[in-house]
Homo-oligomer: A and B are copies of this chain.
């Protein structure tokens, strides 16, 4: 056994030996049950003292990698993780496991890396292709050269002020008059939703949502033990007929709503409903959380006023992000709020995680001038419109009868209704075999079963070529599912 030892190193020899052995075990050189040399033999081979070898084995045993049997020797104890295989589809009320995952695919296989060549329609993000990486790299580099010390300080707790200023100008130009003092930078828009939830909702409180809605918001509310009351939605968004009665009955502390390009349906709330929602919420004194994660990614149809722009101060907290148009790993989102919400949220942000990365905020601010934002937005809209059209065309051409979908005016997703003989629990494994995955409908409902005949397709992230190929696979899987169920 060869173990290179550094006798000058701070790390004691026995730990060097222990680490080398552990790596050998972890990498499969030794398997469970293998007998290791005696400490006497090991000591001789490595020219170390018997005590050093003893200590190395003791350490290894303490870490659980070795079993020392008196009079018999030392045996490896290590069961490698089983080779990855599809986990059973997730069951139950709250699929905790989904949230310890490599990605957030919501396809029920979230802990399993996608097999090579699987076409992934399950993601919640845009295309990395549209991001001008070289330009951004240069900006980052120039900040690191010129302002490294400031960029690596904590910085302003509410967010780098010039970035808040830029953002407030962009929002104001989009019809949401905003001052930098109303803007709080967060670690992505999910974090903004989390802060609002922490600030306004205690366990046992009630939140009112439209259904279907953003799966990770539902998961967040559930994890905080908040009661969720869901209103159904139609082509005009959240249905409001029963809202006043529900407000009177359940006294929710918050209404959570995605008026533009709802995730997952892609639908927009009509302007009339927006006014109506505000009116009803105002009368009941309930705060609205407006999640506008892709409000500016519009490819057709008329722009609609945001709830925030229609509301009086304090009625609507607005949340958005750069992630969908720029890059997910920026981890920079923001919220817009009035007093007293703003100070509460800023305090909470402070005690939650201090500041967001000052370096990335500065780079974003240098990158996102108002003009460049518009340019980048046009670029994203042009590309995503092509992708949407390619997917709509492919779906129209290849889907079997009984499937239904609408073409959304913007956003990232097409929401597909399956025929009654194709439940998603049966389709999913077939789709994986066919080399395609998507987000299961269930995650977007308060009751998983409500989504048994729905699925969400991301059209933004893949090229038209991959989209065509992936939809062909999906259609084939649906047909296969139908064939398996129909009498022979």
Q: Which residues of A does B touch, CB under 8 Å? A: 10-11, 15, 19, 22-23, 26, 62-65, 81, 84, 96-97, 99-104, 125, 128, 131, 133, 137, 140-141, 144-145, 148-149, 151-158, 169, 172-173, 175, 177, 179, 181, 186-188, 190-191, 194, 198, 202-203, 216, 219-220, 223-225, 305, 309, 327-331, 343-344, 346-348, 350-360, 374
Report which of B102, B225, B357 forms a contact with A357, defined as CB distance below 8 A: B357
Asked if B172 contacts A100 (CB within 8 A), the reply is: no
Report which of B97, B102, B137 forms a contact with A343, defined as CB distance below 8 A: B97
Residues of B contacting A329 with CB < 8 Å? 151-155, 355, 357-359
For residue A15, which residue of chain B has the nearest CB? Answer: B173
Top-9 shortest CB links A-B:
A99-B350, A191-B353, A220-B351, A99-B347, A152-B327, A100-B346, A152-B329, A329-B358, A137-B144
Question: Residue among A62, A103, A347 with the most chain B CB within 10 A?
Answer: A347
Whole-angstrom CA separation of A71 from B353 in the bound complex = 53
For residue A345, which residue of chain B has the nearest CB? Answer: B100
- In the complex, what's the smallest C-beta–C-beta distance from A179 to chain B, in angstroms? 5
- In the complex, what's the smallest C-beta–C-beta distance from A122 to chain B, in angstroms? 13
Known: A149-B128, A343-B100. A220 touches B352 (CB 8 A): yes
Residues of B contacting A96 with CB < 8 Å? 343-344, 347
Report which of B64, B172, B223 forms a contact with A351, defined as CB distance below 8 A: B223
Whole-angstrom CA separation of A410 from B137 in the bound complex = 38
Residues of B contacting A26 with CB < 8 Å? 169, 172
Known: A22-B172, A81-B181, A144-B140. A190 touches B346 (CB 8 A): no
For residue A298, which residue of chain B has the nearest CB? Answer: B10
Known: A140-B140, A173-B22. A355 touches B327 (CB 8 A): no
Report which of B19, B172, B198 forms a contact with A198, defined as CB distance below 8 A: B198
Report which of B10, B62, B225 forms a contact with A177, defined as CB distance below 8 A: B62
- In the complex, what's the smallest C-beta–C-beta distance from A6 to chain B, in angstroms? 10
